[in-house]
Amino acid sequence: MILEGISPIEKKPLKMVDLPDPVPGPKEILVKISVCGVCHTELDEIEGRLPPKLPIVLGHQIVGTIVTLGSRTTKFHVGDRVGIAWIHSACGKCRFCLGGKENLCLEFRGTGCHANGGYAQATVVLEDFAYLIPERLPDAEATPLLCAGAIGYRDLILSGIKKGQTLGLFGFGASAHIVIQIAKYWGCEVFVLTRSEEHRNLAKKLGASWTGRPEDRPPKKLNCAIDFTPVGETVAHALKVLEKGGRLVLAVIRKRNPIPPLDYGQLLWDEKEIKSVANITRKDVQEFLPLAAKIPIIPEVQEFKLEEANWALTSLKQGKIQGAGVLSMPD
Ligand SMILES: [Zn+2]
Ligand SMILES: [Zn+2]
């Protein structure tokens, strides 16, 4: 399914075309794709908020098996089941790559954005940017772990949370519902603040010890908070209930509206910190996949056929997908 121009998803801009199988370079592998998750980022790409290189095959939560190895590959075997995530490549030479922050690489390339991704039967990737999928995780259920899961894991690491501390989650979508399972496993107390009653109920089921609306006051101050909401006002709500010296992590790529002025004395003093998160590193994925298999975190998925990609993304836009949407490939 190929995207040739920016357009509202309602106009069904993804078209089924026949492309030749890509040929792997010396350090690349050719992967026969089994499933690819659908993500809000694809809506941003299609509708022009995060313009991709065109034409493009979208999709960055890929699970498949290796069918051909490049001549100079060393890590995998034909038949290995691997995943491909948002980080398609980083230069390995810039100050960010050398400092362990390849997510900020000056030449960062996103899968399905700067290079063809997973809305297809096959794709190629550098072997260094593919991951073995733990046996315990089925294909479809593994796809959300490669994006919402790995990014949520990064959010949690960056929050600096420690065992026994209190964590507040503002908003409770695909990423947060994985984050709560990791935080509970690490022995943290989790409070969830969201407008949606349905999401509050799910949060309770997944172990939240208290739930409320974003402007409510949880029973204890928060050592760490993660804001998954697309609105600016949540930042003030979160800072108000953050403990002295606590850290607020902003997990979204863009806020829909500006963050309102913050009262320094009331909201920021006492060494409170605000930190945003951009992209992921390979280390995030490499650490998170085995952890997800161990806990285990098995996300709920709703499967679509590849040719239904426009419909799957429209449903995602309308909030009608139960769990995570996944495209399965024809044989
Ligand atoms: Zn994604
Ligand atoms: Zn770099």
pLDDT tens across 31-75, in order? 999 999 999 899 999 999 899 999 999 999 999 999 999 999 999
| Alpha-carbon distances, residue 283 vs 85, 151, 290, 298 (angstroms) | 12, 11, 12, 21
39 CA distance to ligand 1 middle (Å): 5
**Which ligand places an atom closest to the C-alpha of 99?**
2
**Which ligand places an atom closest to the C-alpha of 145?**
1
**Which ligand places an atom closest to the C-alpha of 280?**
1
Phi, psi of 125 (to 5 degrees): -155, 155
47 CA distance to ligand 2 middle (Å): 28
Query: Does the pLDDT of residue 297 top 80, yes or no?
Result: yes
Phi, psi of 166 (to 5 degrees): -100, 135
Full DSSP string of 293-323? HHTT----EEEEEGGGHHHHHHHHHTT--SS
**Which ligand places an atom closest to the C-alpha of 112?**
1
pLDDT score of 322 = 77
pTM confidence score: 0.94
Mean pLDDT of 173-200: 94
86 CA distance to ligand 1 middle (Å): 7
- CB-CB contact of 179 with 226 (8 Å): yes
Mean pLDDT of 219-246: 97
67: number of CA atoms within 13 Å, CB side?
A: 15
Query: Does the pLDDT of residue 113 top 90, yes or no?
Result: yes
Share of the chain above pLDDT 90, in %: 91
In this structure, are strands 81-84 and 62-69 parallel, antiparallel, or unpaired?
A: antiparallel
142 CA distance to ligand 2 middle (Å): 27
pLDDT tens across 130-156, in order? 999 999 999 999 999 999 999 999 999
**Which ligand places an atom closest to the C-alpha of 109?**
2
Nearest-angstrom CA–CA distance, 23 and 20: 9
Which of 234, 248, 233 is CA-nearest to residue 167?
248
Which of 233, 236, 229, 281 is CA-nearest to residue 258?
233
91 CA distance to ligand 2 middle (Å): 4
Please tell me the total number of residues recorded for the chain in this structure: 331
80 CA distance to ligand 1 middle (Å): 23
List of residues 6+ apart from 167 with CB closer than 8 A: 159, 161, 183, 188, 189, 190, 191, 222, 223, 224, 225, 226
103 CA distance to ligand 2 middle (Å): 8
153 CA distance to ligand 2 middle (Å): 22
pLDDT tens across 311-324, in order? 999 999 888 887 89
Query: Does the pLDDT of residue 260 top 90, yes or no?
Result: yes
Which of 117, 121, 106, 105 is CA-nearest to residue 58?
117
Which of 277, 24, 246, 312 is CA-nearest to residue 150?
277
For 2-11, b/e burial (b = at least 16 CB within 10 A) is bbeeeeebee
- CB-CB contact of 1 with 15 (8 Å): yes
- CB-CB contact of 120 with 57 (8 Å): yes
Query: Does the pLDDT of residue 279 top 90, yes or no?
Result: yes
